[in-house]
Amino acid sequence: CNDEVNSKVSFQSPLNVTVDQPTGIRSPVEQNSNRQHFIPRKYPFVKVIQKGTNNDNSECHDLKDQHNEKVELHYDISTLNLLGFIETPEDQIIRDEGYRSHAFNVLISDRLGYHRALPDNRHPNCQSKIYSTKLPRASVIICFYNEAPSALLRTVHSVLDRTPAFLLQEILLVDDNSDLDNLSCQIEAYVKNNLHKVRYMRTATRQGLIRARMYGANQAEGEVLVFLDSHCEVNTDWLQPLLTRIIDNRVNVVVPVIDIINADTMELQNSPLVVGGFNWGLHFRWDQLPVHVRDNPDVASNPVKSPTMAGGLFAMDRSYYFELGEYDSGMDIWGGENLELSFRIWQCGGRLEIVPCSHVGHIFRKRRPYGSYGEGDTMLKNSLRVANVWMDDYKKYFYKQRQQPTDVSYGDISDRVALRKRLHCKSFEWYLSNVYPEQVLPNSEGVAPAVIHPPEKRLKTKVLRKGQIVHTTSGLCVQGEKDIYAKRSMLILQHCGQAGKEKKYQIWHETVDSELILASVLCLDVESKEQGHSFARLMKCHGSKGSQAWVWTKKSGVSLLYNPATGKCLKATNKSKRIYLTFDICQDNTDMAFEMSVQ
Ligand code: LR7
Ligand code: MN
């Protein structure tokens, strides 16, 4: 075992800057909606001079400083090297190999080293909070399988650097039997020689992240367990607000805001405050906060309840973790455990919250870089266990969604069923109506009709006006193709309903944020090109304008509905015997004449 990692100089990044490359950054919300949303940004120019020279023919690069102010900064050559501006052919090999093995830019990660300064992303109200000194000590459990050493050790050091020592019992580094070169050896040696508060341990065989976490938790000594992925960076005062909530009530399980570390640039991007949900395929997704919650000024700095969690980053009282049944050890490698734990917490008397004053960055990779040793689709097997233990009759929606997963063997669940009984856990029905009333059910055609709160009630404060959107040329009205509650549904023109259901399904709400909302959560949105057309679709409202912001405008007297983000206007297009709504360059054209008939 060579000490390569050991001998590498570990250094403090001198600057709070990050490199920008021409890539967009996707927030958790946008990632989930399968659309890439590019945010144009402007950076101040930074003048580059080589150290030791007075060379004024220096190159200029666009960089961003921490506060995004217009400043001229002078960087020396080693800083440029750190930021990835200088690349040798060897560097390119590191980068390419890094993408192959880890699915992110390992070259920049290596250059950042094990410590770097981060912008304090918290809401100003959080920055002035004072936390009790009588908080419990935490054991931080970080499981890893074939992680890039620089990302792993930066995770560890960020915890050591940004956690008050008296609150940190230990860090448990659980190596899930990594088999990449001599990675395990390097990490073990580095920990032994440098890090006293860290305990390195290795599973005898690959366990998968669920059993690896159980293995770590079993050896933890702190009063609170904190789980982190192996490619995270914790931010200022990240732990105190989590521990505070657990002290308030030991059944609170708490999750930080998960900021985005860009996989290509390692740039840290603040995430909006969103909560966890799921779809009927049992995939985790981010949900917007219900509007009445989002509008409350206290929300930005106070805990908010969340129906589910993403899974990787959370804190929980240690005795409560065991009392609640650890994890389901029948689950393999990856997937499903996050919803299992979320359902279990809520159904068995606990509470799951997002704590906005705690921020932790996580590298969002474009793919999962490791396999599952021929264990197949572990997510499907694990989800079948979740459905059969926790979801009662509602599991039928998952089965339907998955299409014939019935013959997949998901092992023995009797222990977990017994656990549910022993803890007197509530039904899934209770969970849906009390914790996740925003969730909609698929109907018999596989789309969602469920009754959620009437739009008027939920949107009251934000609605400017409501009414049917009429195509003035034909006198027809805009509505969803299948059902008003179906996400991704295309939009069509139909006879304008005069009353009842027909009319209700055509009532749009125009909000102060320029959204056009049908039902209470679905927004008029632009879908990227399909078969030559950009179709209008109903997408979950994300609240960040862009493709969901609409402006009524006039061209030569014709009233048009214009989307500034794409520069296009709503258009009626005949296709397969229906009139679909698409988008095109705005013209004073009869296809594009729309008006809102205000109610
Ligand atoms: O066999 C394995 N053994 C492991 O120890 C496979 C993985 N792991 C480790 C791995 O090195 C990493 O540290 O387990 C951790 C999580 O694996 P990732 O990073 O590949 O998972 P992910 O970030 O793609 O996926 C999310 O969903 C997972 C479902 O099983 C886990 O709950 C992850 O922890 C979770 N990550 C997050 O919640 C971070 C925020 C992302 C979001 C949204
Ligand atoms: Mn991860």
Closest-approaching ligand to the CA atom of 156: 1
Closest-approaching ligand to the CA atom of 227: 1
Measured distance CA(337)–CA(237) in Å, rounded: 28
413 C-beta closer than 6 A to ligand 1: no
| C-alpha of 31 from chain center | 7
Per-residue model confidence (pLDDT) at position 36: 27
Per-residue pLDDT of the chain (599 residues; tens, 9 = 90+): 654 444 332 332 333 223 222 222 233 433 333 322 222 222 223 333 333 333 333 333 333 333 333 333 444 555 556 655 667 888 888 888 999 999 999 998 998 999 999 999 899 999 999 999 999 999 999 999 999 999 999 999 999 999 999 999 999 999 999 999 899 999 999 999 999 999 999 999 999 999 999 999 999 999 999 999 999 999 999 999 999 999 999 999 999 999 999 998 898 989 989 999 999 999 999 998 877 787 788 889 999 999 999 999 999 999 999 999 999 999 999 999 999 999 999 999 999 999 999 999 999 997 899 987 777 789 999 999 999 999 999 999 999 887 655 678 899 999 999 999 999 999 999 999 999 998 998 864 444 443 444 444 445 447 888 999 999 999 999 999 876 667 788 999 999 999 888 888 899 999 888 899 987 778 899 876 555 678 899 888 877 777 888 989 888 888 999 988 777 899 999 988 899 999 888 888 899 999 999 88
175 C-beta closer than 6 A to ligand 1: no
CA angle 64, 68, 74 (to 5 degrees): 50
Tell me: ipTM over 0.95. yes
276 C-beta closer than 6 A to ligand 1: no
Residue closest by Cα to atom 35 of ligand 1: 312
Å from CA of 497 to ligand 2 middle: 48
144 C-beta closer than 6 A to ligand 1: yes
Residue closest by Cα to atom 36 of ligand 1: 312
pLDDT in tens, 56-108: 333 333 333 333 333 334 445 555 566 556 678 888 888 889 999 999 999 98
Residue closest by Cα to atom 38 of ligand 1: 312
Closest-approaching ligand to the CA atom of 215: 1
Per-residue model confidence (pLDDT) at position 9: 29
For residue 142, give the ligand 1 atom closest to its CA: 13
Q: For domain 235-311+331-363+377-439, which architecture applies? A: Alpha-Beta Complex (3.90)
Å from CA of 359 to ligand 1 middle: 18
Per-residue model confidence (pLDDT) at position 81: 60
pLDDT in tens, 189-218: 999 999 999 999 999 999 999 999 999 999
Average pLDDT value over all residues in the chain:
82
310 C-beta closer than 6 A to ligand 1: yes
337 C-beta closer than 6 A to ligand 1: yes
Measured distance CA(547)–CA(523) in Å, rounded: 10
Closest-approaching ligand to the CA atom of 382: 1
Per-residue model confidence (pLDDT) at position 288: 86
Do the beta carbons of residue 324 and residue 347 sit within 8 Å? no
Å from CA of 442 to ligand 1 middle: 28
Please tell me the pTM assigned to this model.
Answer: 0.69
Do the beta carbons of residue 132 and residue 246 sit within 8 Å? no
For residue 144, give the ligand 1 atom closest to its CA: 11
Do the beta carbons of residue 596 and residue 552 sit within 8 Å? yes
For residue 230, give the ligand 1 atom closest to its CA: 13
Å from CA of 298 to ligand 2 middle: 30
Å from CA of 309 to ligand 1 middle: 12
Range(s) within the chain of domains with CATH label 2.80.10.50: 455-598
| Dihedral over alpha carbons 125, 128, 134, 139 (to 10 degrees) | 70
Number of other residues whose CB lies within 10 A of the CB of residue 519: 26
Range(s) within the chain of domains with CATH label 3.90.550.10: 235-311+331-363+377-439
Span 455-598: which CATH code?
A: 2.80.10.50
For residue 286, give the ligand 1 atom closest to its CA: 43
Helix (H) or strand (E) holding 365: none
